[in-house]
Amino acid sequence: KKLTVGVCVMEKKAFSAPMLEILQRLEAFGEFEIVHFGDKVILEEPIQSWPICQCLIAFYSTGFPLEKAEAYASLRKSFLVNELGQQHLLHDRRKVYERLEMFGVPVPRYALVNREYPNQELDYFIEEEDFVEVHGNRFLKPFVEKPVEGDDHSIMIYYPSAAGGGMKELFRKVGNRSSEFHPEVRRVRREGSYIYEEFMPTGGTDVKVYTVGPEYAHAEARKSPVVDGVVMRNPDGKEVRYPVLLTPTEKQISRELCIAFRQAVCGFDLLRCEGKSYVCDVNGWSFVKNSYKYYDDAACVLRKMFLDARAPHLSTTMPPILPWKIKEPVQQSEGLTRQGSGIIGTFGQSEELRCVIAIIR
Ligand SMILES: Nc1ncnc2c1ncn2[C@@H]1O[C@H](COP(=O)(O)OP(=O)(O)O)[C@@H](O)[C@H]1O
Ligand SMILES: [Mg+2]
């Protein structure tokens, strides 16, 4: 009997290229039945009539009824890759930072300015030409201003008058732009609640990290929108990414973050600044795009996660050949033999690295 894995996410996410790639690989193991809920069921059907699944992939995206999915998960006691209750935290940058700090993850120095109504006067908030002060904590320009809502990506950076002043607004990519400089703006926003934080100079690169469980993380670097707002693209139109190796400290951060938010599949942003790394953003469920190595790895890690959670009696040992690779055309390795190995012609497919021995003097 196969384990049922429910995909309870909006169709836009369920049918995204990386999701399909990874689900296809999961299915190839032969141990799982993938059940797509679909928008109609998620939005219109009562949870009692949703398909019954032992394992559940469920995460918030625009239009997703998070509470309803929570009710379903507790009704069916499904194993969740990413816990639903904790996904509420991701909507509020204040809660994200609070949780990161609780788990000892470094975040930029920050302060909160909460307003109950637009332009509310606050006695603890002072604004001068070159700094703001919140409860006596001073943030010299350049500083960063972020709306408290996690889904609001209008982030502003204010520059010191000595550098000519002005403000840079960052936003979600529109074509090939991701930020715009406004030389005339000198005053901060007053209409809502914001986080003020120190600007961490990174040399112009963001590190994007994608976890699949606490033991696995893929990282890549991209040009920061802060640089000039021009999105660098390859000839194929995809944003340019650079390979990154995480330091042991950063790997530990990934692990803690994954556990702190109970989101096995989780994307977040790291700022590398003066030899230290800070988390400035946690995005929840997010897959790497266009990396077959990552798709393979993610499928293997998810498989183990599902089996451990719902079929611990089954072996989670990996087959020597990944089941989806069999279908790929097998390279004929003519003349390539290994003396004494006994495996002629199949060399390169059924080998498995068992051990690395190093002698270090
Ligand atoms: N404290 C900071 N110092 C320097 N750059 C920052 C800081 N916070 C954010 N940024 C830059 O702004 C970008 C967007 O900020 P982020 O917090 O990730 O918000 P979003 O939700 O829009 O992704 C980051 O990728 C990073 O380049
Ligand atoms: Mg971000």
The contacts of residue 102 (CB under 8 Å, 6+ apart) are 260
In this predicted structure, the answer to whether residue 219 has a pLDDT above a threshold of 90 is yes
Domains of the chain, each with CATH number or no CATH: 3-82+292-310 (3.40.50.11950), 99-106+202-284 (3.30.470.20), 110-198 (3.30.470.20)
Ligand 1 centroid distance, CA of 223 (Å): 12
- Candidate of 169, 199, 281, 283 to mutate for ligand 1, largest count of ligand atoms within 8 Å of Cβ: 281
The whole-number pLDDT of residue 234 equals 95
Cα separation, 172 vs 178, in Å, equals: 6
Please state the rounded mean pLDDT for residues 117-140: 98
Query: What is the share, in percent, of the chain residues with pLDDT greater than 70?
Result: 93
Which residue blocks in the chain are alpha helix, DSSP H?
11-14, 17-28, 39-44, 66-76, 93-102, 248-261, 292-310
In this predicted structure, the answer to whether residue 332 has a pLDDT above a threshold of 70 is no
Q: What confidence tens digit (pLDDT) does each residue in 50-59 have? A: 999 999 999 9
The whole-number pLDDT of residue 328 equals 64
The environment of the single-atom ion ligand 2, i.e. residues with CB closer than 5 A, is 269, 281
Residue whose C-alpha is closest to residue 195's, from 308, 281, 86, 123: 281
- Candidate of 89, 93, 100, 144 to mutate for ligand 1, largest count of ligand atoms within 8 Å of Cβ: 144
Pairing label, strands 3-8, 55-58: parallel
Q: Is the CB of 155 under 6 A from ligand 1?
A: yes
Residue whose C-alpha is closest to residue 281's, from 99, 25, 16: 99
Q: Is the CB of 156 under 6 A from ligand 1?
A: no
Helix (H, G, I), strand (E, B) or coil at 47: helix
Residue whose C-alpha is closest to residue 203's, from 218, 182, 221: 221
In this predicted structure, the answer to whether residue 343 has a pLDDT above a threshold of 50 is no
- Candidate of 139, 143, 154, 155 to mutate for ligand 1, largest count of ligand atoms within 8 Å of Cβ: 155
138-142, 290-294, 346-350, range with the lowest pLDDT: 346-350
Q: Is the CB of 225 under 6 A from ligand 1?
A: yes
In this predicted structure, the answer to whether residue 340 has a pLDDT above a threshold of 70 is no
Q: Is the CB of 221 under 6 A from ligand 1?
A: no
Atom of ligand 1 nearest to the CA of 150: 21
Q: What confidence tens digit (pLDDT) does each residue in 299-308 have? A: 999 999 999 9
Q: Is the CB of 169 under 6 A from ligand 1?
A: no
The whole-number pLDDT of residue 350 equals 60
Ligand 1 centroid distance, CA of 163 (Å): 21
Q: What confidence tens digit (pLDDT) does each residue in 273-331 have? A: 999 999 999 999 999 999 999 999 999 999 999 999 999 998 888 888 899 986 666 55
Ligand 2 centroid distance, CA of 321 (Å): 36
The whole-number pLDDT of residue 329 equals 61
Q: Is the CB of 167 under 6 A from ligand 1?
A: no
Query: What is the share, in percent, of the chain residues with pLDDT greater than 90?
Result: 87
Q: Is the CB of 280 under 6 A from ligand 1?
A: yes
For ligand 1, atom 7: residue with the closest CA: 199
Q: What confidence tens digit (pLDDT) does each residue in 22-70 have? A: 999 999 999 999 999 999 999 999 999 999 999 999 999 999 999 999 9
End-to-end CA distance of the chain: 53
Ligand 1 centroid distance, CA of 280 (Å): 6
In this predicted structure, the answer to whether residue 346 has a pLDDT above a threshold of 90 is no
The whole-number pLDDT of residue 28 equals 96
Answer for the pair 259, 82: CB distance below 8 angstroms, yes or no. Answer: no
Atom of ligand 1 nearest to the CA of 171: 22
Answer for the pair 280, 201: CB distance below 8 angstroms, yes or no. Answer: no
Cα separation, 265 vs 269, in Å, equals: 14
Count of positions (residues) in the chain: 361
Q: Is the CB of 197 under 6 A from ligand 1?
A: yes
Least distant ligand from the CA of 279: 1
Indicate the DSSP class of residue 233: B
Answer for the pair 173, 231: CB distance below 8 angstroms, yes or no. Answer: yes
In this predicted structure, the answer to whether residue 344 has a pLDDT above a threshold of 80 is no
Please state the rounded mean pLDDT for residues 174-184: 96
Ligand 2 centroid distance, CA of 269 (Å): 6
